[in-house]
């Protein structure tokens, strides 16, 4: 049955001389793999825009009830980007976030809240002109909620000396008995990241060193809660661009 759905392009790779297989997170069907014919054809260079990281697209395809490849009949940009492909820092963020999603999302079923979060986050990045150096930190913090390991909100005063337990996903005034934890004052910054929304990014004041430490901590947190979450290829480029 031919159906249409909105989608977010996460990853693609060569399938044949003129075709690719694209991983697209869709509104109606969750994560799906699609065959796109003719994308690598010299006469179809304009189609490459559909495969840019995090592209917001609308696709028509014959979806299979069981797992397998679906063939795209038509693909269009739902919302053309205004700045992400044309700004080095934003395009680096897009590549990084795409890799994060590729390694973390496995759901082959609809998740309205996750799709809405991703769609709004990408739109926000595209439309934001400045003060987005902390976007990836807030994105990772918010994404963890949809992946099921968002930290528990502490019931202790924020003025307290906080530790963050990476294994249990919680803040505490007591140092954990194991080694997978974050010490003060980094844990306090960690707490602030998890409590900041995109529209208040400018209130999160971080220097380059703090930003790097927090990103490393967030990725360690992810690796403890997700399988095969390592060897990020886009991390070095992102850190170089944002430094």
Which pLDDT value is given to residue 94? Answer: 97
Q: Between 135-147 and 186-194, two packed helices, what is the crossing angle to 10 degrees? A: 70
Nearest Cα to Cα of residue 222 among 86, 92, 105: 105
Would you kindly state where each structural domain of the chain is located, as residue ranges?
A: 130-243
Q: Which two tokens stand for residue 100?
A: 């994060």
Q: Digits of tens for pLDDT over the chain (243 positions)? A: 788 999 999 998 888 777 889 999 999 999 999 988 876 565 555 667 788 999 999 999 987 766 668 888 899 999 999 999 999 999 999 999 999 999 999 887 899 999 999 999 999 999 999 889 999 999 999 999 999 999 987 776 666 688 999 999 999 888 999 999 999 989 999 999 999 999 999 999 999 999 999 999 999 999 999 998 988 999 998 988 887
Q: Which two tokens stand for residue 194?
A: 């998890």
Q: Which two tokens stand for residue 192?
A: 């602030």
Which pLDDT value is given to residue 113? Answer: 97
The whole-model pTM stands at: 0.93
Which pLDDT value is given to residue 241? Answer: 86
């Amino acid at each position: 049955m031919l159906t249409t759905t909105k989608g977010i392009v996460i990853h693609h790779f060569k399938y044949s001389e003129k075709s690719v297989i694209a991983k697209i997170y869709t509104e109606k069907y969750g994560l799906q793999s699609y065959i796109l014919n003719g994308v690598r054809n010299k006469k179809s260079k304009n189609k490459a825009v559909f495969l840019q990281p995090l592209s917001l697209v609308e696709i028509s395809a014959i979806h299979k009830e069981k797992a397998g490849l679906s063939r795209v009949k038509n693909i269009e940009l739902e919302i053309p980007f205004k700045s992400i492909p044309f700004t080095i820092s934003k395009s680096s963020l897009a590549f990084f976030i795409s890799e994060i999603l590729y390694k973390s999302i496995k759901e082959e079923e609809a998740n309205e809240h996750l799709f809405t979060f991703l769609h709004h986050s990408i739109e926000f990045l595209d439309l934001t002109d400045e003060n987005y150096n902390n976007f990836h930190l807030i994105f990772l913090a918010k994404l963890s909620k949809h992946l099921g390991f968002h930290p528990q909100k502490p019931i202790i005063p924020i003025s307290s000396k906080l530790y963050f337990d990476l294994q249990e996903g919680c803040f505490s005034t007591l140092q954990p008995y194991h080694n997978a934890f974050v010490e003060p004052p980094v844990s306090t910054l960690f707490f602030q990241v998890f409590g900041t929304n995109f529209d208040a990014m400018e209130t999160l004041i971080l220097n380059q060193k703090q930003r790097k430490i927090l990103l490393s901590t967030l990725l360690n947190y992810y690796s403890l809660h997700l399988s095969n979450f390592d060897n990020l290829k886009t991390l070095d480029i992102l850190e170089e661009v944002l430094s």
